[in-house]
Structure 1
Amino acid sequence: MMAISKTEINLRRLLSAAPNQQNQSKLMHYVATLREQLEQLSEEKTHEGLPRVTKTKVNEYYEKIEAVASKIAAQVMAWFVVALSLIVIWVASLCKIFFGATFSFKAAILDDGITPHKKNVLFVIAHPDDESMFFSPTINYLTTNAYNLHILCFSTGNDDGMGSIRKDELHQACAVLRVPLQQLKILDHPNLQDGFGQVWSHDLLTEIIDEAVTNHDIHTIITFDNYGVSGHSNHRDVHHGVLKFLKIRTERNIKAWEKLVSLKIFRKYCGPVDWLSILSAKRHPSKLIIINEQPWKSFEAMAQHLSQWVWFRKLFVIFSSYTYTNILCRINP
C-alpha cells in the first residue's frame, strides 16, 4: 500500500478543521491554502513516475474544498445584500429629507395660541457643541418657523483647558444656526465645571434656570432626558435641574420637552432611518417628531467646534440619528 505524502496529510487536516472555523478571514486563507496543496498533490509522482493519488481522489478533494468555498461565498453574499439594503434605505431617507418630503406629523411643537415670533424657547445644555450634536433638528425647525430661541449653556467645556476656545466656537455655531448671540448665555461657574467626575448642584442649576426663564419670559424649555443622551453626568444633572425647576415653579405653567435616547446602539447610529422611533412616536401624542430639513446646516454648525471636530465626531455627525431626527417627550414633573 502506497504511503500518504506529507502534503496529503496536511490537506486532510486542514479540510477537517475548516468546518469548525468561524473566522471568515481565516476560512478564506484555509481555502487558498487547500487549493495550493491540492495542486501540489496532483503533481506529485511515485518513484516509478506514476501519479501519487488517482484522479478520482483529486476530484473528491476538489469537491470538498469547493464546498467550503461556497459556504464563504454564501456568507459574503448575505452580508452584501444586507449592506446594500441598508445603503438603499439610508439614501432614500436622505432624499426624503433633502427634497422636502417631510413628515406631516412633525408637530406644531409649541402650539398653544401664541404666535411663533412671540414664543420664547430656552434650550438648556451642558457644554458647547451639545446644541449642534444633539438638538440641531429642533433648533433648525424652530428658527425656520420664527420662534425666538435662547440657549443657556452651563459650562465652557473647560475639561481639557480649552474653555475660552470652546466658548468662541459656540458663538460661531450659533451664528450658523441663526440663534442671536445676545440670546446665548455661557456660564463659567466654579461649581459647574465640565467633567465626568464633576457633580453639579441641582439647587444651583434650578436657581440659574429660574433667573433665565424670568429674564427672557420663557414659555418652553428643551433639554436632555434623564439619561443625558450620551450618559454624561453633566447632561443628566442638567435634566434634574430642569425637572426640579418645574416642580418648584408650577405656577409658571412652563412647557418642557426632553430629548429621547435611542436605547439600541443600531438605532442611535442609523442616520436618517430611525423608523422605529418615528413609528413609536406616532402612537404616543406626548411625543413629538422633528425632522431636520437642513442637515447640512447641522454639519456646518458642528464644524465650527474645531477643537472637537476630530474624526470620530465627524462620523458621529454623519451617522447619528440626532443629526436628522429629534424625538421629544413632554416632561411631566
Structure 2
Amino acid sequence: MFFTPTINFLTSRGHNVQILCLSIGDADGKGNIRKQELFQACVALKITMQQVKIVNHPELQDGFGKVWNHSLLAKFIEDEITSHCIDMMITFDNYGVSGHCNHRDVHYGVCSKLLHDALRRDVEVWELISTNILRKYSGPVDIWLSMFLAMLQSNGTMQCLVNEQYCRSLKAMAQHSSQWVWFRKLFVVLSSYTYMNTLRKIK
C-alpha cells in the first residue's frame, strides 16, 4: 500500500532488495493467510520468497494499542542487516503514513540508540515521508508537488521515486485477497503512495 514505488524503482535497477516484515498481521486471526499473501505480493513485485523475512514474535503482534518493544525491533533489524550485508534501509517516518502505532514503532526501532550507534557509519537510513490527508488522496497530482518540495531541499536528503510499474503495484496489492475490500481498492487508486514515494534521509 505504501512502498511499491520504491520497490519497483530498486528492483528495476538490479538492486538486491530484502523485505523485513515485523508482524504476520494477526489482529483478525488471519495471520497465516496474510503471511502467504505477502509472499505472493512480493513475487508480483519481482522479489522472491527467499528475499522476504516475516517475523512472528509474541511481543510484536499486530493491532492498535499494542506497543512494540523498540529494542527488540532493533535486534531483529540489526540481525537482518548483518546477515545480508545491508547498506541501506527504508522505513516509515515517525507518523507511519496512516498513524498506525505499529508503523510508528518500526520507525523508532530503526532509530533506536542500540541500532543507530552500531550501524550509523555503514548503513544509510531513509524514511517514507507522511503527507497530509489532501495530498495523501490526490493520486498522481501529488507527483509534481512532491518534486517541487524536494527541489527546495537541494542538499540531497530527499528523493522522489515515481512508480514506473503502476500495474505491477495493483497486481501486488490484489494478492492480499483477505484485505482486498472496496475501500482498499479505492485507496490504491487515489493514494499518492501508489504513484510515488518521497524519501528523506535520516541523519
TM-score (norm 2): 0.95
Q: Displacement of 1:179 after TM fit?
A: 1.0
Give the one of 129, 133, 142 matched to 1:260: 129
Which of the numbers 265, 280, 289 marks the counterpart of 2:160? Answer: 289
Alignment pair present for 1:247 and 2:116: yes
Residues 253-279 of structure 1: CA distance to partner in whole angstroms, max 9, x if unpaired? 21010000112x121101111122220
Q: Residue 200 of structure 2: SS of its match in structure 1?
A: strand
1:8-23 residue pairs with structure 2 within 5 A?
A: none
Decide whether the 8 Å contact of 1:141 with 1:290 is kept in 2. Answer: yes
Q: What is the aligned counterpart of 1:327 among 194, 198, 202?
A: 198
**Per-residue deviation, 1:251:** 5.6
Q: Does 1:300 align with 2:171?
A: yes
1:180 is displaced (CA, Å) by: 1.7
Q: Shift of residue 249 of structure 1?
A: 1.3
Aligned pairs, how many?
199
Q: Which amino acid aligns with 1:288?
A: Q
What CA RMSD, in Å, does the superposition of the two structures yield over aligned residues?
1.0
CA 1:250–1:166 in structure 2 vs 1: closer, same or farther (change >3 Å)?
Answer: closer
Name 1:279's counterpart in structure 2: 148
Select which of 183, 186, 190 maps to 1:312. 183
Please give the alpha-carbon distance, in whole angstroms, between the structure 2 residues aligned to 1:237 and 1:137: 22
Structure of higher RCO (CA pairs closer than 8 Å, 6+ residues apart): 2
| Bigger-Rg structure (1/2) | 1
Partner of 1:99: none
Q: Which runs of 5+ in 1 are unaligned?
A: 1-132
Alignment of 1:35-74 (within 5 A): none
Is contact 2:78–2:115 with CA below 8 Å preserved after alignment?
Answer: no
Corresponding letter in the other structure for 1:315 = L
CA distance, structure 2, for counterparts of residue 316 and residue 249 of structure 1: 38
Q: Deviation string for 1:113-164 (max 9, x for gaps)?
A: xxxxxxxxxxxxxxxxxxxx00000000100000000011000000000000
After superposition, residues 36-115 of structure 1 pair within 5 angstroms as: none
Deviations 1:50-109 (A, max 9, x none): xxxxxxxxxxxxxxxxxxxxxxxxxxxxxxxxxxxxxxxxxxxxxxxxxxxxxxxxxxxx
Give, in whole Å, the separation in 2 of the partners of 1:228 and 1:315: 20
* Distance of 1:248 and 1:234 partners within structure 2: 23
With the length of structure 1 as denominator, give the TM-score of the two structures.
0.59
Aligned to 2:52: 184
Q: Which of the two has greater helix per residue?
A: 1
Percent identical among aligned pairs is 56
Partner amino acid, structure 2, of 1:256: V
Q: What is the rounded CA distance, in whole Å, between the counterparts of 1:281 and 1:296 in structure 2?
A: 26
Q: 1:232 and 1:225, CA in 2 relative to 1: closer, same or farther beyond 3 A?
A: same
Residue-by-residue CA offset, 1:269-325 (whole Å, 9 max, x unaligned): 011111222200112131000000111111100000000000000000000000001
Instruction: For 1:156, give the aligned amino acid.
Output: I
Say yes or no: does 1:220 pair with 2:91.
Answer: no
